[in-house]
Chain A
């Protein structure tokens, strides 16, 4: 029904100087293109979809509009029906007109909610665009409610709004809020701080694998952030080392540093190489005997290599284009390029935390275009002009690209699937290979049809 796009003539990569805010010639690799235009991305609210599953006794209450509620049920798809631990307090006309006191209204909603869900140990108020634009002070609301509901439950707040956060950045703000809350409660605490904090939501199975590896390496006092329960111990102090398991944790890293922790710089644990480097950086920081390290990781590293190899011929030499989505893109591209032999055309990321992804970018070949932010129409033009073999993009773009005869991998699956660590390396490769396999299967069938 929609008119097709007018064809745009392009010579290779199109960089429109009007739209480029900063083009740093010195950044490695290649250049970093910064763009500002229409962003075809999720807002931070969507991270609630995995966070509420991870932390089983927390409830996420979005303070927002009908749009926010609609987003959540559209993005959560089928899951919304299994009594999820999230809901929306929808602001109405009378709230905005000042006829109702927003804080009283919110208190009322919270009372109703907690009466329905007495099992909740932590209530998380999540800010949205409308609540932020009208400057509703959710931090203050959280403090007030927290005081009222202590000690049965805690109440914290963070922003998941689209104006402040893109997709996974919602998790970043949540973790930062958890740390701020822990710091606030610290004076009464007598337990000793964690030696290592692993920051970033990981699938339970991945977390368990890493925990076993840490034990085998002789590293104890490890805390995973977020924990599985709102009441999990979270003590950070000087002497705590932390490592990021996810690349989108700028605010969390800052909060950890504020509490006195210091960062272990590493690649992100995607693929055999990434996981090895990540663990090696940690082992190094804890002065694990190198021989012991090699002994512990030898088998799993070999398994990761074997599993990945099954898919190499599907991706080797294939040209891949990444649209921005989760900030995982540079690490995923590095894995595809180095372990599967793919050629990366462009790596889009909604945001680049330079320090945290420096290692990843350094490993990408110099002709890769790294783009930060988005102007979706122009990026589509670039993508079409480059005509890659595989496009990694969101669900709003995937089917339209497929309908043009291109092969896509929808990107939010990387946020919902266990992909980190040695044992998941093959699964990660398969996520990329599957659409290519499928296209080949269906094309074969169509060809057979035509010949017979």
Chain B
């Protein structure tokens, strides 16, 4: 048993729902207890869909357990087909349905429903949402794209886009952006799946020259199968960030048999590059940033942070064990410990230990950052309703990079604000209790009273003093408070490490400045 206050991922059948809800003409009959229909509101509320997801639940109750829950399942299948007239049906069980061992696949097959039925076997006590989505997508791609005859001649400039799904982070606009980008290269996008595709569309997957995987977490197994079965090459760079977008386009051109473009031909297609160069951004140099989320978004964010914005990555992790290797490789590049965990308390501890100046994470890290009073931007699912915006807000491609520049820099204190704060520390309204004016902290900032000081200090530092047998003199403690709050944690840690390495037992103002000189950025 595992204690969980919060989960980064839902159960695997929610992943299957995301596939069904992404597609057209596909209906999902889910053997689940009364109550599991809560998942509908992920789609109708968080994503604000105007229609119910295409899911029929058996919603069995305790009194049904003594009789036949299998009959209830059969009835649900028949009625769903009759009412919704889908092209195909997927059937499966939620975690409780799984315990009943009614075998939805077997039952549905005996019904003679007159349409393809794809049984899903999603082990709820072992796997999670993304795995469920990937497995479901793989199964339906296999079901509809198997035993096809590839056309004699295939236009080399044709591709499919695999991976975009309902409830994905900014997926709606990513698709638009990437499609435009491909079209500008003269590439014809044939099928986008699962988002917006019908089962018949999936049957056309082998007709394109190659596949683009925008979300490896969801589309890798299906793309690998298409590669094995039809020899379709995979473009696997996730085009988030300028560098990644260029690499992506280079990979696309290679897959399409086009000559590489001269370096620099892409210049001027985004604003991030210039914005990051402009002197106003100098103060961003080596800001410490902690990154956590879906594997591909986290890896992409780390690259943007270091190569495009000049930040320093001080922590990098994912909640997806399936992608541990990718994160480990990336973490090695940036010289940080990879963090692979789905325990949000561990993530919180890691954030505190890394003492970042900016957190890029999921909805959960937004909360942690708020509590620690650290600036934060959301870069990955799980996200809440505010991260399904009305405006155009892709993460991918050139416009995605523009959006990223704004949304990551926005929570940081502006440069001038930062300088003034260092020079005049006791301004009554402009002090380090006041977060950037455009932020909306959970609770009003604590008054700058002496009593509130230690409490807030702890959170701004991210942690209390490490006990290494050294203590701070009152003078040194006071001097430390003059360090701007977003780097104070680092100053404390460096000074203590410095003192420990020199065997200094009592930290004075001198020690503080000795350490500062020693570690100078």
Contacts and interface: CB of A to CB of B under 8 A. Distances in A.
User: Do A and B belong to a common assembly?
Assistant: yes
Contacts of B459: none
25 contacts: A2-B51, A38-B57, A41-B34, A46-B38, A63-B1, A66-B9, A66-B11, A66-B128, A69-B6, A70-B11, A74-B38, A74-B39, A80-B5, A81-B367, A88-B5, A89-B3, A90-B1, A90-B3, A93-B125, A133-B99, A162-B59, A163-B60, A163-B61, A395-B40, A403-B51
A214 to B, nearest CB: 35
B37 A40 contact: yes
A396 B11 CA distance: 19
A365 interface: no
A402 B2 CA distance: 40
Contact of B196 (A1, A45, A80): A1
Contact of B45 (A44, A132, A395): A395
B376 to A, nearest CB: 12
Contacts of A394: 41
Nearest to B86: A3
Contacts of A37: 59
B65 A130 contact: no
Contacts of B1: 63, 89-92, 95, 100, 102, 105-106, 108-109
Contacts of B442: 82
B262 interface: no
A109 B86 CA distance: 45
B44 A400 contact: yes
Nearest to B43: A396
Interface string A402-421: 11000000000000000000
A81 B24 CA distance: 35
Contact of A396 (B10, B52, B54, B62): B52
A65 interface: yes
B24 A3 contact: yes
Contacts of A130: 95-96, 99
B33 interface: yes
B510 to A, nearest CB: 40
Contacts of A46: 38
The 8 closest A-B pairs by CB, nearest first: A162-B35, A43-B35, A403-B50, A396-B40, A81-B367, A129-B96, A2-B51, A65-B95
Contacts of B158: none
Could you say which interface size class chain B belongs to? 35 or more
A134 interface: yes
A75 interface: yes
Given A3-B54, A163-B60, A399-B50, A71 B44 contact: no
B78 to A, nearest CB: 12
A113 interface: yes
A82 B24 CA distance: 38
B48 interface: yes
A93 B53 CA distance: 29
Given A1-B21, A74-B42, A78-B384, A112 B3 contact: yes
A397 B49 CA distance: 11
B123 A396 contact: no
Contact of A397 (B2, B24, B52, B86): B52
B94 A67 contact: yes
Nearest to B386: A78
B85 interface: yes
A163 B33 contact: yes
Contacts of B85: 3, 6
B4 interface: yes
A73 B51 contact: no
A39 interface: yes
Contacts of A87: 3-5
Contact of A5 (B2, B83, B86, B124): B83
B84 interface: yes
B21 A66 contact: no
B125 A45 contact: no
Contact of B79 (A5, A82, A377): A377
A25 to B, nearest CB: 24
A129 B25 contact: no
Contacts of B24: 1-3
A66 B10 contact: yes
B99 A2 contact: no
Interface string A56-84: 00000001011101110111011011111
Contact of B52 (A2, A39, A43, A164): A2
A42 interface: yes
